[in-house]
């Protein structure tokens, strides 16, 4: 039973970073998912996959895992890279891709 502690990335469909500041503790799957033969549903007998605990800080998540004897690994969040782009760059004469109608 190994848990993963990480800070989720912002959703691609939203511009805000509302839930991206929390830290999440979730368990790695112990058993593979199976396909139910009659209906074709994907199922699993591993109930820990449904558990997702949220914490405000990484230290709180690690303390919870240590207190309950859960083996864990921490994935550090990647830094966000925002390219500097100006509207006027669309009309530069030395553009990488030429602008046409």
79-92 pLDDT, tens per residue? 878 788 888 887 77
User: 82 to each of 9, 68, 75, 79, 85, how far by Cα in Å?
Assistant: 14, 39, 21, 10, 9
CATH number of the domain at 50, please. Answer: 3.30.160.190
Considering the domain boundaries, does residue 41 fall inside one?
Answer: yes
pLDDT at 96 over 80: no
Domain holding 24, by residue range, is 2-10+18-77
Q: What is the pLDDT of residue 101?
A: 57
Considering the domain boundaries, does residue 32 fall inside one?
Answer: yes
Considering the domain boundaries, does residue 94 fall inside one?
Answer: no
Q: What is the pLDDT of residue 100?
A: 64
Considering the domain boundaries, does residue 86 fall inside one?
Answer: no
Based on the structure, what is the number of domains in the chain?
Answer: 1
pLDDT at 14 over 80: no
Average pLDDT estimate for 54-82: 92
Considering the domain boundaries, does residue 49 fall inside one?
Answer: yes
**Mean of pLDDT over the chain:** 86
Q: Report the percent of the chain where pLDDT is more than 90.
A: 37
Q: Where are the alpha helices (DSSP H) in the chain?
A: 58-67
Instruction: Write out the chain in H/E/C secondary structure.
Output: CEEEEECCCCCCCCCCCHHHHCEEEEECCCCCCEECCCCCCEECCCHHHHCEEEECCHHHHHHHHHHCCCEEEEECCCCCCCCCCCHHHHHCCCCCCCCCC
Considering the domain boundaries, does residue 68 fall inside one?
Answer: yes
pTM of the model: 0.70
């Amino acid at each position: 039973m190994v848990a993963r502690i990480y800070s989720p990335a912002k959703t691609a469909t939203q511009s805000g970073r509302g839930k991206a500041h929390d830290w999440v503790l979730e368990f790695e799957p112990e058993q593979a998912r199976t396909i139910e033969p009659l209906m074709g549903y994907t199922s699993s007998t591993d109930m820990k996959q449904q558990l997702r605990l949220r914490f405000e800080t990484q230290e709180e998540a690690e303390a919870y895992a240590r207190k309950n004897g859960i083996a864990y690994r921490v994935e550090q969040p990647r830094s966000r890279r925002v390219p500097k782009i100006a509207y006027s760059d669309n009309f530069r004469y030395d553009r990488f891709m030429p602008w046409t109608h």
